[in-house]
Amino acid sequence: MRKKIVAGNWKMNTSVTKGIELAAAVADKSKETANVLLIVAPPFTHLTKVGEQLKGSAVALSAQNCATETSGAYTGEVAASMIADTGATYCILGHSERREYYGETSETLNKKLAQCFASKLSPIFCVGEKLDERESNRHFEIVKAQLQSTVFNLSDEEFDQTIIAYEPVWAIGTGKTAMPEQAQEMHAFIRKTLAEKFGTKADNISILYGGSCNPSNAKALFSNPDVDGGLIGGASLKVDDFLAIAKSF
């Protein structure tokens, strides 16, 4: 179902104590943005405690990653079923930082997608081009290939549960945001590409924008017809900024 969504990717930030405080503050203020689904994605170590904090609120919990395997001798990995046990219902997959620093490929991501669905976690699946790919005018081709090699393998039922996040790599943590027209152009392209495989179901999918989104630029980004919200990094660590972004629709 297409929803307005603002999700906070905390990345590798906050102590457990600070994370609980941040989640409590988001939950407390979430009543002011009842038309928007708020999701927070803290580090693995925080999930259980943050989940307890969010109980009874409308704020949903997400992980930032999951293992490719179900269980067993995979030191340092966290299974999707363990994530679901904490009360989380979402999992970010395919973030460019995972692709870039941890070598995640479409093959890896297909396994992770399967793990998420097996544990009833909805993926927040990230796609996006790098700066040189945009400068050489290959951004549509790159994003299409990212979708075709992963999301296109989903069943219709799995696709219905999926959120897409378009995060141009050149805009992440750089202070450089995509122009609202650039975001709309790519979001419309993503929806059209998904429609080639999933037909009218693509109209019902939420496509979030990510990359230096903040309270000053969120309104212009979210006012586009194919931008259904944001996946927020830095600004999600400040409750007032995160909520101000959610109020930008």
Question: What does the DSSP 8-state code read for residue 188?
Answer: H
Closer residue to ligand 13P in complex, CB, 14/198:
14
Contact between 184 and ligand 13P by CB under 6 A: the answer reads: no
List 46, 95, 139, 187, catalytic entry: 95
Catalytic residue at 167? yes
Distances (CA, A) of 31 to 89, 90, 235: 20, 21, 19
C-alpha distance across the termini of the chain, in Å: 18
Residue 227, token pair as written in the block? 């931008």
* Cβ proximity of 209 and 231 under 8 Å: yes
Tokens of 164: 């897409």
Q: How far is the CB of 36 from ligand 13P (least distance, A)?
A: 17
Contact residue for ligand 13P among 28, 58, 173, 204 (CB under 6 A): 173
Q: Identify which range of 47-55, 142-150, 216-224, 225-233 contacts ligand 13P by CB under 6 A.
A: 225-233
**Tokens at 118, concatenated:** 């097996």
User: Cα–Cα distance between 179 and 145 in angstroms, integer?
Assistant: 23
Closer Cβ to ligand 13P, 85 or 100, answer by number: 100
- State the Cα–Cα distance between residues 40 and 49, nearest whole angstrom: 13
DSSP secondary structure string, 66-109?
--SSSSSS-TT---HHHHHHTT--EEEE--HHHHHHS---HHHH
Among 43, 94, 123, 211, binds ligand 13P (CB under 6 A): 211
Shortest distance, position 78 Cβ to ligand 13P, whole Å: 18
Residues 82-101 that bind ligand 13P (CB under 6 A): 95
Structure tokens at 33: 């943005």
Q: Which is nearer to ligand 13P, 226 or 241 (CB)?
A: 241
Minimum CB–partner distance for residue 183 and ligand 13P (Å): 13
Would you call 107 a catalytic residue per the annotation? no
Site for ligand 13P in 125-144 (CB under 6 A): none
Q: How far is the CB of 212 from ligand 13P (least distance, A)?
A: 4
Q: Which helix H or strand E contains 219, and what residues bound it?
A: helix 218-222
Chosen residue from 143, 233, 243, 245 binding ligand 13P by CB under 6 A = 233
Active site residues: 95, 167
Give residues in contact with ligand 13P (CB under 6 A). Answer: 9, 95, 167, 172-173, 210-213, 231-235
